[in-house]
C-alpha cells in the first residue's frame, strides 16, 4: 500500500499540472471502488477550478471553491497525468479532464481506492477522527506521551494507529523504531518520555527523507509525475529478515504485530 511519502510524492507530482485548471469533464468508467463514486460528483466538479492540491493522512485533496475531492490510492492505485484522448486501459477507472487538454487519471487494479466528496466547511467522516500529521508541530513528545500513558499495546501498533498520528505505515514505523533503538513489541506505556521524544524525531526524519527522495518504490506504485521512488535502497530493517543488522551485524528477527510482519534487531532495540 502506498504510504504517506508516496502519497505526498503524488501530490507534488500532480500539483503543477492541475492547480488553476478547470475540470471540463468527469469520466467515471467504473464507480465500484472501495466505496462507490458518488452519483452527484460530476455536478460538483464539472466546470470548477482546482485551487490547490492538499493531503490529509493518505487522502489526496483536490481543493475547489465548494469542497474537496478526496482520493485514496488504496492498495495499488496511482494517479498520473495523461492527454485526455489517451485510450484507457482495463484498470483506468476515473479521469478528471482538464481545460488544458490533459487529464488526471486514476488507475486502480484492485479497486481498494476511493473517490469521494467533502463539502466546504465540513469534515468527512473518514477524516474528522484522524490524528495529527506526523510532520506537524502538533505531533511532539508531549502529545505522544499522553497517547502512550497507561497503554499496554505495542508501540509499533500505537504509532500506526491513524487516530494517534496519521500516515506512519508499516515501513516507516519499522524504520523509525530501529533508528530510535526501541523494540517494536514494547508496551507503549512503558517507554520513557525521553525515548518517545527521540522516536518523534526519528519518525519525522525517516518520513522527511522518504518524501525528499520520492517515496519508497513499491511493486504497484508510480508517482504522479511518472517517476518511482528511490528510498527503498536505504531501508535498514524493513524486509530484511535474517540479514545482518547494519549496526551490530547480528541477524535481524521477524515477528508479527497486528498481523503485520515486523523486522527488528534484538540486540540494538530494547
The DSSP line for 86-112 is SPP-TTEEEEEEETTSEEEEEE-TT--
Catalytic annotation on 80? no
Known catalytic residue at 3: yes
Q: Is 93 annotated as a binding residue?
A: no
55 among annotated binding-site residues? no
Q: Which of 2, 5, 134, 184 is catalytic?
A: 2
Is 204 a residue of the active site? Answer: no
151 is known to lie in a ligand binding site: yes
CA dist 199 and 196 (Å) reads 5
Whole-angstrom Cα distance, residue 23 to residue 49?
Answer: 6
Euclidean distance between CA atoms 270 and 256, whole angstroms: 17
Choice among 34, 185, 204, 260 that is catalytic: 260
Catalytic residue among 3, 8, 175, 202: 3
| Catalytic residue from among 55, 56, 58, 80 | 58
Specify whether 58 is catalytic: yes
Cβ 203 vs Cβ 158: under 8 Å: no
User: Would you state the cell numbers that stand for residue 242, as one nine-digit string?
Assistant: 535474517
CA atoms of 81 and 101, how far apart (whole Å): 10
Active site residues: 2-3, 58, 260
Residues flagged as binding site: 91, 110, 151
Residues flagged as binding site for DNA: 91, 110, 151
Amino acid at each position: 500500500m502506498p504510504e504517506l511519502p508516496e502519497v505526498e510524492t503524488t501530490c507534488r507530482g500532480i500539483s503543477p499540472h492541475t492547480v488553476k485548471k478547470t475540470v471540463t469533464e468527469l469520466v467515471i468508467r467504473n464507480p465500484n471502488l472501495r466505496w462507490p463514486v458518488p452519483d452527484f460528483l460530476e455536478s460538483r466538479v464539472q466546470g470548477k477550478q482546482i485551487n490547490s492540491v492538499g493531503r490529509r493522512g493518505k487522502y489526496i485533496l483536490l481543493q475547489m471553491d465548494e469542497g474537496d475531492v478526496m482520493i485514496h490510492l488504496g492498495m495499488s492505485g496511482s494517479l498520473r497525468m495523461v492527454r485526455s484522448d489517451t485510450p484507457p486501459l482495463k484498470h483506468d477507472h476515473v479521469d478528471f479532464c482538464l481545460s488544458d487538454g490533459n487529464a488526471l487519471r486514476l488507475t486502480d487494479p484492485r479497486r481498494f481506492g476511493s473517490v469521494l466528496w467533502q463539502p466546504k466547511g465540513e469534515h468527512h467522516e473518514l477524516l474528522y477522527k484522524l490524528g495529527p500529521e506526523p510532520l506537524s508541530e502538533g505531533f511532539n513528545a508531549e502529545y505522544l506521551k499522553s497517547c502512550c500513558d497507561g497503554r499496554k499495546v505495542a508501540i509499533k501498533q500505537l504509532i500506526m494507529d491513524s487516530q494517534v498520528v496519521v500516515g506512519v505505515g508499516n515501513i516507516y514505523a519499522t524504520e523509525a523504531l530501529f533508528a530510535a533503538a526501541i523494540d517494536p513489541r514494547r508496551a507503549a506505556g512503558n517507554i520513557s518520555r525521553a525515548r518517545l521524544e527521540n522516536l518523534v524525531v526519528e519518525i519525522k526524519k525517516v518520513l522527511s527523507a522518504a518524501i525528499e527522495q520520492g517515496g519508497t518504490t513499491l511493486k504497484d506504485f508510480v508517482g504522479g509525475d511518472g517517476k518511482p521512488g528511490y528510498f527503498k535502497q536505504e531501508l535498514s530493517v524493513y524486509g530484511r529478515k535474517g540479514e545482518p543488522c547494519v549496526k551490530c551485524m547480528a541477524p535481524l528477527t521477524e515477528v508479527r504485530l497486528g498481523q503485520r510482519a515486523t523486522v527488528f534487531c534484538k540486540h540494538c532495540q530494547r
